[in-house]
Structure formats: structure tokens, C-alpha cells
Amino acid sequence: MSSSSPPSHPAPPASSSVGELDRRHFLATLSALGVGGGLFPGILWAQAAQEPEITEETIQAAEGLAGLSFSPQQRTMMLENLRNNRGAYRRMREEELSYDVPPALHFDPLPPGATIPSGPSLMRPSRPRDLPDPDDPVEVAYASLTELGALLRSGRLSSERLTRLYLDRLRRFGDDLECVVTLTEDLALEQAQRADRELAAGLVRGPLHGIPWGAKDLLATRGYPTTWGAAPYQDQALEHDATVVRRLDEAGAVLVAKLTLGALAMGDVWFGGQTRSPWDLERGSSGSSAGSAAAVVSGLVGFAIGSETLGSIISPAVRCGATGLRPTFGRVSRAGAMPLSWSMDKLGPLCRHAEDCALVLDGIQGPDNLDRTVRQVPFRWDGEAGLDGIRVGRLTGAFDADGPTGDLDRAVLEVLEGLGAELVEVGLPDDLPLGALRIILNAEAAASFDSLTRSGRDALMVRQEEGSWPNLFRSARMIPAVEYLQANRLRTILLGRLEQAWAGVDVLVAPPFAGSLLLATNLSGHPAVVARHGFEDSRNPGAITFVGGLWKDGEALAVAHAFQRATSHHLERPTRFS
């Protein structure tokens, strides 16, 4: 043992698009501007960038990349400024920037004029209807967090016994799924024994006390490697705990494994192979929270933590049939997590039940004085409440298709209506170039992994296709700073348009990948819960998404919880692991 697929991108421009320069001249032009070394994987930046003189011809060649055209006089006037800029780049690169240094710019998902919810928080879990037999290892492995908590607090099950059960399952099935990077056995047994002592003494830290969990291996964990799923970092040791890891330790949870992620949080391919779907070992689990989703659905951990930038919780939850929560941007600290996009990254739970996600969110949310994007916002959860007072909408046009999950999607609406929901039609803004805003993610990711590109160590990455990170990092160095900022200005408009469009609902129901919903809500920071709603066939779970308004994570979870209580799709288990 030791992500979702990226968007398609256009091919690099041919030499004819930059004034019929030959390829050698074109590459020399980029090198002259101080950005070309990343085009030569495996060659050190210092070797590739010989810094030839910046000339009017250099500027003319670069104009094609930005879609601009200047006059000869304008190019002459620009020369000194560009030479000074290149000197500034050189001086900045002399400063080593560790992964935990964010930009001095912070994304705020709150639209102008909107207010943050106030009032007290609430955590009132439901009472389990039936408890599993503590002597049945499979029933225990698949139990909900409320069921496990009840068994632990009653003394019918010890945390150490539960921890050894999950460690055994991780050893037995981890290689089949390729979902484990590192077992944290010594730490797990130490934490479990501490939990047993505390529970025996009547000290209950909360609903997660004594329950084993798995961490996506982009979370720093003291004493163990934090590999980010990528060969250049597979021996990396970060001698501190991510805030989420520390908070779960304080909640009494037991860390049993570091789980796989697609390399640098893309897809399901990591340096050790491809993580598999529990329903079909011939298929990948999708990603990038690949191991977290696969391990939860296979009953290898009580719950797991994943991350999402553009579908990395939603996509593997769909493929594997997990219940996943992408929280509101700014609710959970990313301190100690690998940064991919400072303005889009979110951390959240992958579980078997919606209520499990609520219990985990309650344990990890809130400011830590490290991640400056995080706010103190109340989170309210009552596991026995229904849908009273929650306004539910359906995404316009998203339920009309007759695709492989069309009937399953429409059946969700029938269940919700049977529970008393009055579904309101809600649309998405269709007058903004949302696809163009993907450059925000690419530019921020390229900045985060600047040293990887400039050193040439990106050649160590397993995937080297046009749409994989090494090439996207290099390509993103050609995104003008002006266009990055313009994209963020359009993002501000998006926030206002969504606030206006969804003003009449608290939760929006839609298929997970309907239209531009996934991209729009990751850009806007809205929370989303994905839950299994049936099967396309025996190897392919289907899923539905409940998108909450900003800071309405609890409402989105409540609708998902009500749906799961009225159905049993989430209770079905892959035969091989049960």
C-alpha cells in the first residue's frame, strides 16, 4: 500500500498564429519573456531560460498568445518595461515560497448586499432506530456514525476493537481498490486506546469520539508522509497537522489511513496506480478524492475527508456511490492542505449517510486564525427534523432528459414531493462565459506549483497528456494577469446573478453534472450534497445533488437526509466487500 477529469483545452498555437515565426524562434520568444522554461519537461529552468534579449519581434510573437496587436511604435515603447518586469520575475524567484503561503488576496463568496447568517449553532443527531450486532464485523463496518457512536458510548464496542476491524479491512481490500497510500496504525491504536479510557471515564468529546476515519493524502499529518498522490512528493514529510486533522483528533476521532488522490488532486491516477470503483474493479473510482470515496463505500473506514476544487468530491461520490458534502467556501479551514486553487479549494466529508456528513462538518468547521477565508457561521443540525421551512427548487430543464439516469432523477422529485416539498423551477445564469472562467483555477494551480514546473520535476508525474497538470501548469504561465483579474470580475457578477436567480429557494435539486451547475457553484462557493439515488446498472451507481444557498449546508444536508430516510439506495453494498 503505499480527480475528476480536467476540462479540455485548446492546443498550443501554431507558429503561423504568431507571425509565421519558425518553432525555434517561437520558443526563444517565450524564453525571452521569462516564461518558456516550463515548455521543456525534465530540463532545469536555469538551463532552458538563457534570457535572450527582448526585442520588438519578441513582443510581436507574444501578442498572438494574448489575442492582441500593437503598433511598431507601441512595441518600442514597451521594451524597457518588459525588461524591468523580467528582472522582477528573476528577483521574486530567488525567494522560496513554501506551499502554505497564500496570496494576499482572499475570495469572498458573499455577494454585495447579502448578509451572513447569525444566531446559535445546533447539533442534535437522530436516534438510531436499530443498532447493528457488535459481533458482526460487516454490519459494524457499514454502520452509520450515529450507530457506531451509540455502540461506543454504551460500552458494547470498544474503539480499539473497531479500529482493528477497519485496519484489517484496509489490509484485506486496500490493494484491490488501490485506495491506501499509508496505514497510520501506531497513531490509530494510540488514539483508540485514549478514546476507550475517556469513554470509560464518562468523558464524551462528541459524536465522532472513538470512530476511525481516513484522510485524503493532501492533508499534512505529523509523523507520516503526505504525498499529494504525486511521485515528486512521495517522500514528503510535513511535520505538522492540518487543521482538519487536528480538529478531528480533538473530537476523539481515530485516523487509520492516508487515502489516495489523483496526483496533485486530478483524476484517480496516482504514483502507485489507479484507484478502483468498489462496484467494478475494472473502472476507476474517479477523483480526485478517489481513495476517500472508495474506502467509505467499501466499509474500510467510518468516514473520510476529501477536497474539491472542481468536482473532486462530487465526481468520485457519484462514481462510487458515496454521500459527499462540499461545504460552503469559507466554512472549513484549508490550513495544512495542499493548495491547488486558493479561491476554489474546499475540504469536506465523504460518508455513507447524509447525517454522517453533518456530524463530521460540525467537528471540522470554523476559523483557526490560519486560513483567513474562514468565517464563524452557525451550523444547525437536527437529525429528527423534516423539511418544514426549507424551500426546495428544481433546476429548470435538468429533469427532462431521457438519459441513463433520467427516470432515477425524476423519481427523486416524486419522493421529495411526497415528503411535502413544493418544488420551484430555478434556472442558471446563461449569459456569462462560465467556461472561460476556468483560467482562474489553472492560473492559481500553476502559481502553487511554480517551482515544480521551473525545476523540470514535473516530468516525474505519471500523467503527461495534453490535459494533465504538467502541461496545464506550463500553459497557464501564458495567461495574462489582466485576463485572470478580468475573469474574477466576471466571477463577482456570477455571485450576484446566482443570488438573484435562487432568491426563492434554500436548496436546489439537480443531477450532479447538469449544464454548468458544477462549474458555476464551485466558482461561487455554494455547498452541495451528492447522494446515491439508484443504479444505472449493477456496476454504475446513479446520484442526485442538493445544492444549498451560501452557508445553507445544514439545509442541503437536511433535504438529502430526508430523501435517504424515505429510500434505501444508500444502504446497498458492493458484494465483494460485504
Active-site residue flag, 312 = yes
CB 461 within 8 A of CB 470: yes
The SS3 of residue 510 is strand
CB 324 within 8 A of CB 351: yes
Q: What CA–CA distance (Å, rounded) separates 66 from 189?
A: 56
- Which residue in 31, 159, 216, 333 is the catalytic one? 216
Angle at 355 between CA 126 and CA 391, to 5 degrees: 95
Q: What CA–CA distance (Å, rounded) separates 326 from 335?
A: 17
Q: What CA–CA distance (Å, rounded) separates 291 from 427?
A: 34
SS (H, E, C) 386-416: CCCCCCEEEECCCCCCCCCCHHHHHHHHHHH
Q: What CA–CA distance (Å, rounded) separates 571 from 203?
A: 31
Helices (H), 11-158: 23-32, 45-48, 56-66, 72-93, 137-141, 145-154
CA distances for 485 relative to 341, 439, 475, angstroms:
14, 10, 17
- Amino acid 520 reads A
Whether the bond into 17 is cis, omega within 30 of 0: no
- Which residue in 277, 289, 312, 468 is the catalytic one? 312
Pairing status of strand 273-274 against strand 269-270: antiparallel
Q: What CA–CA distance (Å, rounded) separates 141 from 211?
A: 11
Give just the sign of the alpha carbon dihedral 297, 299, 303, 307. negative
Active-site residue flag, 552 = no
Active-site residue flag, 298 = no
- Which residue in 288, 289, 333, 341 is the catalytic one? 288
Residues designated catalytic: 216, 288, 312
